[in-house]
Amino acid sequence: MNDKQVGQFFDQLSEDYTAVIERCFPRYREMLWALLDYLPSDRAFTAIVELGCGTGNLSVLLAEAFPEATIRFVDVSSDSLAVCRSRLGDADRLAFERQDFRELNYASGSIDLAISSIAVHHLTSTEKRQLFRQVFDWLSPGGAFCFADQFRGATDALYARHMHHWRELSMTAGSSDDEWNMWMEHQREHDHHDLLADQLGWLAECGFTEVDCVWRYLLWAVVQARKSSVR
Ligand SMILES: C[S@@+](CC[C@H](N)C(=O)[O-])C[C@H]1O[C@@H](n2cnc3c(N)ncnc32)[C@H](O)[C@@H]1O
């Protein structure tokens, strides 16, 4: 992936992002709800990082859900990050980091929760596996990695059916051919949809436990994994 181009694509979209995503991604809000609702509740999360925060649709919910936590919002698109910051305001506990999340270098055990919504699929399979290893290292014992994203179908036929339904649903929700073509061009150039089963396996290989998919609709799924608190 060329992160500069991904950043530029989302820079250009930053002002209209929320309206566009709500038209084009069916059940987007429900997916964000599932991502937060299923977070483990058996421990406190005081140090949180959001990977690919964009303009902050998840970020505002996260900041509300964890009013005491230190939260780092990371994105490669400076314009999206600026919108995110303007929605959240400045507070000592909130940090806005213009960074490629493949290059983050947090200390081992320094993060309690790593969370992300529709951003990880910009990485290739190899890069995803590398990110999963990194996240595992950052997490404190009992920490969690939870992300919503787009995934392939188990067969090409299922994947094609997902794509067909996605197009139909976004058109019904008011999207246009131009908008659809914009996403498809972006997808061809920058998106890497891997299988959900593969990604659950890669997480387990890194040492994550309690690896599961807690919500799924067409291409979209919410994945959750824990770093065991037993060392
Ligand atoms: C589809 S948007 C999702 C934004 C937001 N999380 C949401 O749920 O609406 C993907 C975001 O991930 C960011 N992104 C993609 N690859 C990235 C990378 N390697 N490092 C940092 N940010 C990245 C993009 O700039 C973009 O803002």
pLDDT the model gives residue 230: 72
Give me the domains of the chain, ranges plus CATH numbers: 3-226 (3.40.50.150)
pLDDT the model gives residue 1: 43
Burial 169-178 (b: 16+ CB within 10 A, else e): bbeeeebeee
Nearest to 226 by CA among 106, 101, 114, 63: 114
Q: In what side-by-side order are the strands of the sheet with 47-51?
A: 94-98, 70-75, 47-51, 111-117, 139-150, 220-226, 209-217
Per-residue tens of pLDDT for the chain, all 231 residues: 456 688 888 888 888 888 888 888 889 999 999 999 999 999 999 999 999 999 999 999 999 999 999 999 999 999 999 999 999 999 999 999 999 999 999 999 999 999 999 999 999 999 999 999 999 999 999 999 999 999 999 999 999 999 999 999 999 999 899 989 988 998 888 899 999 999 999 999 999 999 999 999 999 999 999 999 876
Cβ pair 82, 90 in contact under 8 A: no
pLDDT the model gives residue 3: 60
Q: What are phi and psi of 213, to 5 degrees?
A: -105, 120
Mutation pick for ligand 1 pocket among 6, 32, 124, 179 (CB with most ligand atoms within 8 Å): 6
Q: Is the CB of residue 224 below 6 angstroms from any atom belonging to ligand 1?
A: no
To which residue do tokens 């500069």 refer? 4
pTM of the model as a whole: 0.95
Q: Which atom of ligand 1 is nearest to the CA of 3?
A: 19
Return the residue whose CA atom lies nearest to atom 10 of ligand 1. 119
Q: Is the CB of residue 52 below 6 angstroms from any atom belonging to ligand 1?
A: yes
Q: Which atom of ligand 1 is nearest to the CA of 102?
A: 19
pLDDT the model gives residue 217: 97
Q: Is the CB of residue 58 below 6 angstroms from any atom belonging to ligand 1?
A: yes
> Cα separation of 36 and 164, whole Å?
28
Q: Which atom of ligand 1 is nearest to the CA of 7?
A: 25
